[in-house]
Amino acid sequence: MNTAMTDAPILPILFHPAPILRAKARPVAEADGARVTELAARMLSTMYKAPGIGLAAPQVGEGLRLVVLDVAKEETPAPMVLVNPEIVAASTERAIREEGCLSLPGQYADVERPARVKVRYRALDGSRQEVEADDLLATCLQHEIDHLDGVMFTDHLSPLKRNMLIKKFLKEQKLKSREAM
Ligand SMILES: [Zn+2]
């Protein structure tokens, strides 16, 4: 991937409760072509700038099955672009990891999910790809693919925990908008 991709102009990130975050995104079609390449580049810029390790198209207002992520721990970026990603296998073994979301900034909670997943997707050039993931990548893939189905990480929490977290988020947003006046 060329580094110019990450110099693309950033996009505004939508926060909860934007309705598109709750909608099912449509598959990317061949006809979407160059628009998707451009969108992926802008999503990567947006993700790095935030900063975050994953971003799904609905989070920037595009109802398309497109995800970008980079879970590299080193300084060298290792961006991944996944077109129409699909979880085709998940381990019965589960793992708990703390998650946050660029659409719910400042909020974190432990989420339990399958520890390992196999994901099929298309690269931007249309080639078929498959990745077997564990650890942080497994969590990130599941979190981002959830976004394509209108699912937020908070949906994996108990109703009590979920309501507390969302209330806290809305309260913090209210305070922020007041400070901005
Ligand atoms: Zn998220």
Residues 109-142: pLDDT tens digits? Answer: 999 999 999 999 999 999 999 999 999 999 999 9
Distance from the CA of 30 to the center of ligand 1, in angstroms? 26
- Cα–Cα distance, 137 to 172 (Å, whole number): 29
Among residues 38, 99, 130, 144, the one annotated as catalytic is 144
Q: 154: CA distance to ligand 1 center in Å?
A: 9
Query: With a cut of 50, which residues of the chain have pLDDT below it?
Result: 1-4
The architecture in CATH of the region 4-180 reads Alpha-Beta Complex (3.90)
pLDDT of res. 75: 82
Q: What is the radius of gyration, based on Cα positions, of the chain?
A: 16
Which strands form 54-56's sheet, in the order they lie side by side?
Answer: 54-56, 66-69, 80-90, 117-122, 128-133
Domain assignments of the chain as residue spans, ordered by start? 4-180
pTM of the shown model: 0.94
pLDDT score for 3: 45
Q: What pLDDT score does 32 carry?
A: 92
Which pLDDT score, from 0 to 100, does residue 89 have? 98
Is 144 in the active site? yes
